A and B are shown apart, each in its own frame.
Chain A
Amino acid sequence: MELSGAQMSHLEPSGAATNRESITDIPILTHVQIQELALVVALRRGDEAAFLSLIEQFHAMMIRVARTYVSTYEVAEEVVQETWLGVLRGLDRFEHRSSLKTWVFHILTNRAKSRAQREDRYVTFSDVLYVQSDESAVDPDCFEPDGWWKFHPDHWGSRVEEHVLGQEMRAWIEQAVQTLPPDQATVITLRDMEGWTATEVCAVLAVSEENQRVLLHRARAKVRTRLNSYFEPKAQ
């Protein structure tokens, strides 16, 4: 049977509705997962634009994360290059059991770790937790013996907000992150700098939620202390 144009257009909405119903049988993918799926398919097809967009999307984040493991920016760049080669080699085996991001960063942190081991810089997460278990967030001298503040923390107001886009404060915070123990630096970089969720960080670093939180807490507390001292010399 042939349908006229008018009849066709009349049928379209109900056709679309039928499609939508059948889609509910398929596991629901998030928008991000669908984009990722398309990207992986394109990469496997050898699409250079897709490869370039993946590099653009992850590169800066990868450098910042690699830098928390190794001693210099140059070594971090090498680790990232190695990671891309590893990604290409492993792409056929990538099975969407984890997100593409988690998978790429798993490769990255493994490479960075073995690089750090060769640099004699790497400590396992559990070692560090054990060694630093009595670390406190705030200098104990700030409290009275009974645990109350001896003097209150400074009122920052909008000072950080006003300075944070300036090069000087950025460098100050960057250095504060860089001088943290490597595992703390990695966790705060992923969580607070790159905005990852706790679940993603635990998956990539293979740490428990609890340890992730301890590392994050210590890292934040130290960066806070450093940030506080940024204003001190100027507070005359």
Chain B
Amino acid sequence: MTKQMTMMNPISELCPALTCREFVELVTDYLEDGLTLTDRTCFEAHLALCEGCQLYLDQMQQTIKAVGKLNEEAIPVAGKAQLLACFRDWKGALLGAP
């Protein structure tokens, strides 16, 4: 977004302070639905006009999705036999209890 564009945008009069630098700090609040209605409106008004911030938001959403892919890796359970032995001991104590 350029300064000229903001000046021509009537909504920007309501939210004169929201710059790109401020926008990037609101992205998580926005995605978590944690913005007030006014802040949300300012955020979306800025987003609609600013290609740089559209790209930034897209990168953040892609980052979240990419991190979400990392849980697909299976991790072998080390010491499963040992854990089962502990479970049997525990069970023994449990059943042996009066």
Which residues of A line the B interface, CB within 8 A? 44, 46, 48, 51-52, 55-56, 59-61, 63-64, 77, 81, 84-85, 88-89, 136-138, 140, 143, 146-149, 152-156, 160-161, 164-165, 169-170, 173-174, 177, 188, 192-195, 198, 209, 213, 216-217, 220-221, 223-224, 227-228
The distance from the CB of B16 to the nearest CB of chain A, in whole angstroms, is 12
Chain B's interface: helix, strand, loop or mixed, by majority?
A: helix
The distance from the CB of B45 to the nearest CB of chain A, in whole angstroms, is 15
- Docked-complex contact B91 and A81, CB < 8 angstroms: no
| 8 Å CB contact of A227 from B27, B66, B73 | B66
Contact A152 B34 (CB under 8 A): no
Residues of B within 8 A of A136 (CB): 21, 24-25
A165 and B63 contact, Cβ closer than 8 Å, known pairs A143-B21, A217-B25, A220-B28: no
B residues bordering A, Cβ < 8 Å?
Answer: 1-3, 19-22, 24-25, 27-29, 32, 34, 50-53, 55-56, 58-60, 62-71, 73-75, 77-80, 82-84, 86-88, 90-91, 94-95
Of B3, B82, B88, B91, most buried by chain A (CB within 10 Å of CB) is B91
Distance in angstroms between the alpha carbons of A221 and B29 in the assembled complex: 13
CB pair B60–A224 under 8 Å, yes or no, is: yes
Residues of A with C-beta under 8 A to B79: 77, 81
Contact pick for B71, options A46, A195, A221, CB 8 Å: A195
Distance in angstroms between the alpha carbons of A140 and B22 in the assembled complex: 11
In the complex the two chains form, is A146's CB within 8 Å of B19's CB? yes
A51 and B55 CA atoms in complex are apart in Å by: 46
| B67 and A177 contact, CB distance less than 8 A | yes
Contacting pair B56 A138 (CB below 8 A): yes
Asked whether A46 lies within 8 Å of B95 as measured between CB atoms, the reply is: yes
The 8 Å CB contact of B29, one of A52, A156, A213, is A213
The answer to whether A156 and B59 have CB atoms under 8 Å apart is: yes
| B34: chain A residues within 8 A (beta carbon) | 209, 213
Task: Write the nearest CB–CB distance from A166 to chain B, whole angstroms.
Answer: 11
- A213 with B1: CB separation less than 8 A: no
8 closest A-B pairs by beta carbon, nearest first, are A147-B19, A46-B91, A217-B28, A149-B52, A152-B52, A60-B75, A147-B21, A192-B67
